[in-house]
Each structure stands twice: as structure tokens, then as C-alpha cells.
């Protein structure tokens, strides 16, 4: 009996400790996975918003660029029309 007491006491002390360690490990795993999932959702939301902003900006720049290009073409065609009409005139150039 004298030699049986220390292992029994050791098992009684370490048994709940090992069980509680497994529970703590599972709780840590649950917290870690929940944190990972929330972080992933935040990251994907940020990515999607950034993509929308980028596409909107790109489209706005294209619209402005096309409008500027069209305006320059229009002014250029009017200038070439004016030069053509001036070259058809006879007499001194107009001031």
C-alpha cells in the first residue's frame, strides 16, 4: 500500500490536468479558427471594395480620356476646315 499511494496520487493530480489541457487546446483551436475566418471575411470585403473603387476610377478616367480625345479631334477638324477654306480664298490673308 505504501508503494501504491504515490502513483495513485500522481494520476489523480495529472489526470484532470491532462484533461484540462486538452480542453484548453480545443478552446485555443476554436478561437484561432474563428479569428482566421473573420480575418478572411474582412480581407475579402476589403479586396472587393478596393476592386470596385479601382474599376470606378478606371472607368471615370477612360470617360474623361475619351471625351478629351473627341474634343481634340473636333477642334483639329475645325482647324483643318478653317485652313482649307483660307487656302481657297484669293487675296490677302485675313487678320
Per-residue pLDDT at 90: 59
**pLDDT digit string, tens, across residues 44-87:** 999 999 999 999 999 998 888 888 888 888 888 888 777 776 66
What is the sign, positive or negative, of the torsion defined by CA atoms of 77, 83, 89, 94? positive
Burial per residue of 17-54, b for 16 or more beta-carbon CB atoms within 10 angstroms, e otherwise: eeeeeeeeeeeeeeeeeeeeeeeeeeeeeeeeeeeeee
What pTM was estimated for this model as a whole?
0.49
pLDDT above 60 (res 91): no
Per-residue pLDDT at 77: 83
Amino acid at each position: 500500500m505504501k508503494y501504491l499511494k504515490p502513483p495513485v496520487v500522481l494520476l489523480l493530480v495529472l489526470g484532470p490536468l491532462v484533461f484540462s489541457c486538452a480542453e484548453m487546446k480545443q478552446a485555443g483551436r476554436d478561437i484561432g479558427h474563428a479569428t482566421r475566418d473573420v480575418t478572411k471575411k474582412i480581407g475579402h470585403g476589403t479586396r472587393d471594395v478596393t476592386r470596385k473603387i479601382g474599376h470606378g476610377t478606371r472607368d471615370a478616367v477612360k470617360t474623361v480620356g475619351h471625351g478629351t480625345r473627341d474634343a481634340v479631334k473636333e477642334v483639329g477638324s475645325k482647324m483643318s476646315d478653317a485652313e482649307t477654306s483660307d487656302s481657297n480664298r484669293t487675296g490677302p490673308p485675313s487678320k
